[in-house]
């Protein structure tokens, strides 16, 4: 039984120490994943917390993952983000426009890059997106990414390669506007 499976078995019985450790271990990973999809810090924090609540309820019903918790959290986050996008489509907010108006020139440039990257990330598959965000935003080594997602290192390398190729294609316009740096 792996360390992750032991932790999950304890968390399934709602053991407070195990749950605290689980939150500690996966919060940042999940936050970056959600933020990469929604692009707003506040929304990402709320949705991340909601994913953990869903995990508790799954444990309470005797469900939830028995291994590869990160993959389960990302899948649940995908559902919540999709709901979030649908709600935003029905009730558009003006936070981005307000932030844009308040930003300085260099901040605006970063905002454009972040928005284009987020938009490009939406075109990746869930696995590609998870690998890219864990690698480039969380600086996790390939071996750990493979372990968290329940894949081989070779499969993670392949996902990374294909994801970067797809991102490059989507970001082509952005590169021509802002140069290579």
**Residues engaged in binding other proteins (CB under 8 A):** 13-14, 16, 19-20, 23-24, 27-28, 31-32, 35, 41, 44-45, 48-49, 52-53, 56-57, 59-63, 110, 113-114, 116-118, 132, 136-137, 142, 154, 157-158, 160-161, 164-165, 167-169, 171-172, 174-175, 180-181
Of the pair 75, 175, the CB lying nearest other proteins is at: 175
Find where tokens 């936050």 sit.
Answer: 31
Of the pair 3, 24, the CB lying nearest other proteins is at: 24
- Strands, E assignment, 3-146: none
Of the pair 27, 150, the CB lying nearest other proteins is at: 27
Q: How far is the CB of 86 from other proteins (least distance, A)?
A: 23
Q: Following DSSP, what letter does each residue of 71-111 receive, concatenated?
A: HHHHHHHHHHHHHHHHHHHHS---HHHHHHHH--HHHHHHH
Q: How far is the CB of 178 from other proteins (least distance, A)?
A: 8
Largest CA distance in the chain: 54
Residues 45, 47, 52, 56, Cα dihedral to 10°: 140
């Amino acid at each position: 039984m792996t360390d992750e499976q032991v932790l999950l078995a304890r968390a399934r019985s709602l053991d407070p120490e195990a749950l605290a450790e689980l939150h500690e271990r996966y919060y940042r990973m999940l936050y970056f994943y959600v933020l990469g999809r929604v692009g707003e810090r506040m929304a990402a924090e709320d949705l991340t917390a909601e994913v953990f609540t869903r995990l508790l309820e799954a444990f309470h019903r005797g469900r939830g993952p028995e291994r590869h918790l990160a993959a389960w959290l990302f899948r649940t986050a995908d559902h919540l983000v999709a709901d979030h996008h649908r709600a935003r489509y029905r009730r558009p907010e003006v936070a981005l426009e307000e932030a844009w108006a308040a930003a300085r020139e260099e901040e605006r440039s970063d905002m454009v890059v972040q928005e284009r990257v987020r938009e490009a990330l939406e075109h990746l598959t869930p696995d590609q997106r998870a690998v890219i965000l864990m690698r480039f935003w969380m600086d996790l080594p390939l071996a750990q990414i493979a372990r968290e997602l329940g894949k081989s290192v070779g499969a993670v390398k392949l996902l990374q390669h294909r994801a970067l190729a797809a991102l490059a294609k989507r970001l082509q316009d952005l590169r021509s506007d802002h140069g290579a740096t």
